[in-house]
Amino acid sequence: MQSLPKPMETEEPKHVHRGLKKGLYVIPTAFTAANIGMGFLAVLYSIRAFQVVQTDPVTAASYFNYAAVAIGLAILFDTLDGRVARMTKTATELGVQFDSLADVLTFGIAPIALVYAWAIGASLPYESSAHALGVFVLFMYLMCGVFRLARFNIQATRPRVLAEGTPKLDKRYFVGLPIPPAAGLMAALVHFAPSPLSTYGEGFSRFYTYLLMILIAVQAVLMVSTIRYASFKNASTGRRNLYLVLVVAAFGMLMWLYSQYLLLILSAAFVSHGVIWHIARTLSPRKSTQPEHFEVES
């Protein structure tokens, strides 16, 4: 008895875009890796500068400037990895953890190493109580920064389904000062005046170092505070914002020509605008009756 011919097996359609979709996940990770690389270089440049800060201040100033620029580039990469992940819909919980660990190095340890080598270690005697106070302030800055990043991780990995009646998070604002602009302000100060503070004379170097320590302590408090900061996530490049391209082009040219002044002004404006906003809201007679929830993102 002759068997019937077997039906032809149809090949399953290959998903052409499946490999492309998997490749998109690499792009945000690459920006985060670049962020880590810049933090790593900033630490190395700071160590190298501290080795020659007393014998060759000019060479030390160049290394300090390299470290400050590396932190500035890290801020750019840190901004891009999150935006690219959202644009390509490739955000993952692993990416959130990876990004936070990168921020601990680049915006926590790297600026501490830079500020210590540029100001505290170069200007204050090692055995003095002022030096110990400076080390303590830097340690508290690191602790507050790590605490804020841990708070963000809890917020980012919370269950997707919220309890009924829980208001949605407002992604227009950050809770507390994000750690990248806090590190950016310290890097902008070094970029503005890369010469070690020890070159200004004993009296002025101590005075400037004390002012820097106060600034770092204030930033540490702002990071763990509930003061809200604008996230600027509503800015887009749609049809209604075509002029944004011209603004970005003009900003890039100004950054190339006047980076020392522009970076310092922008970083100081961002760090201070949350405090000014909070004071204005406190003094304002109008108060919202609804509870506010803001995004806790670095």
The reported pLDDT for the residue numbered 163 is 43
Q: Region 87-93: what's the mean pLDDT?
A: 68
| pLDDT over 90 at 168, yes or no | no
Better-scored residue on pLDDT, 285 or 267: 267
Q: In this prediction, what percent of the chain has a pLDDT beyond 70?
A: 73
What is the CA angle 85-90-92, rounded to 5? 95
More confident residue, 30 or 50: 50
pLDDT for position 289? 45
Residue 222 contacts residue 271 (beta carbons within 8 Å): yes
- pLDDT at position 259: 86
CA distance 189 to 168: 38
Identify whether the C-beta of residue 275 lies closer than 8 Å to the C-beta of residue 226. no
Answer whether residue 85 shows pLDDT above 60.
yes
Of 77-81, 123-127, 171-175, 181-185, give the range with the top mean pLDDT: 181-185
**pLDDT at 177 exceeding the cut of 80:** yes
pLDDT of res. 155: 67
Query: What was the pLDDT predicted at 153?
Result: 73
pLDDT at position 253: 81
Look at residue 284 in the predicted model and tell me its pLDDT: 79
Asked if pLDDT for residue 210 goes beyond 90, the answer is: yes
Mean pLDDT value across residues 47-71: 95
DSSP string, the chain: -PPPPPPPPPPPPP-TTHHHHHHHTHHHHHHHHHHHHHHHHHHHHHHHHHHTTTT-HHHHHHHHHHHHHHHHHHHHHHHHHHHHHHHTT---HHHHHHHHHHHIIIIIIHHHHHHIIIIIHHHS-TTSHHHHHHHHHHHHHHHHHHHHHHHHHHHHTS-SSPPTTPPPPEEEEEES--HHHHHHHHHHHHHHS-S-GGGG-HHHHHHHHHHHHHHHHHHHHHHTS--EEE--TT---SGGGTHHHHHHHHHHHHHHHSHHHHHHHHHHHHHHHHHHHHHHHHH-S---SS---EE---
Query: What was the pLDDT predicted at 19?
Result: 52
For residues 86 and 48, the model is more confident at 48
pTM score, whole prediction: 0.81
With bands split at pLDDT 50, 70 and 90, how would you rate the model's confidence at 16?
A: very low
Average pLDDT taken over every residue of the chain? 80
In this prediction, residue 67 has a pLDDT band, given cuts at 50, 70 and 90, of: very high
Residue 41: its pLDDT value, please?
A: 96
> How do residues 212-270 score in pLDDT, each as one tens digit?
999 999 999 999 998 888 876 665 544 555 666 677 677 778 777 888 898 999 999 99
Please report the pLDDT score of residue 172 as a whole number.
Answer: 72
Q: What is the per-residue pLDDT across 101-150, written as a single tens digit (0 to 9) for each?
A: 899 999 999 999 999 999 999 999 988 999 999 999 999 999 999 998 88
